[in-house]
Amino acid sequence: MESFGHCVGIAAPQLGLMSRVAVVDITGHPKAQSSNGLLVLANPRIVEREGSAVGREGCLSLPDVTANVRRATRVVVEHAAGTVECAGFEARCVQHELDHLDGILFLDRVESLTDDVFRRKSYGESKGGGAAQSPSAESTRARSKSPGSDASEPERTG
């Protein structure tokens, strides 16, 4: 997870492993108001959901796009090692990773494919020290002020 940079979660199917395991760690992330630290969730299932909020998400599986996704703001997850309660950004990340275990991508949860999906502006720092741009970076800059989009880049949650 750490080798991908800005990644706060990953699920086993993304690594080609057909098991129900997801890992989330938002420790130290600027959007994290609370954190349970490193969560390794085996055979997880959400048993409680509360609240609702739209937030921007990205994913290692679809590196060129981000999207506005509505998710619960608080979840309780039962897993092989017990139960964990997550809120805010951590709840969003956990739901994103658990979706991967069920074959669901964040694009499956957007309300409008035309209004809520955006091209990612950049991939962060390249090995040469400058910002690495996606292949469509020029056209993206021209459209970067899309209605409903915010200027901050989402974290890749896996």
CATH code where residue 106 lies:
3.90.45.10
pLDDT 10s digits, 19-70: 999 999 999 999 999 999 999 999 999 999 999 999 999 999 999 999 999 9
CA 153 to each of CA 12, 14, 49, 121, 139: distance values in angstroms, whole numbers, following the listed order: 24, 21, 26, 8, 17
- 150 within a domain of the structure (yes/no): no
CA distance 137 to 107: 21
Range of the domain at 21: 2-143
How much is the pTM? 0.77
- 158 within a domain of the structure (yes/no): no
Domain tally for the chain?
1
pLDDT 10s digits, 72-131: 999 999 999 999 999 999 999 999 999 999 999 999 999 999 899 999 876 555 444 443
- 155 within a domain of the structure (yes/no): no
Residues designated catalytic:
97
Sign of CA dihedral 82, 87, 37, 39: positive
- 154 within a domain of the structure (yes/no): no
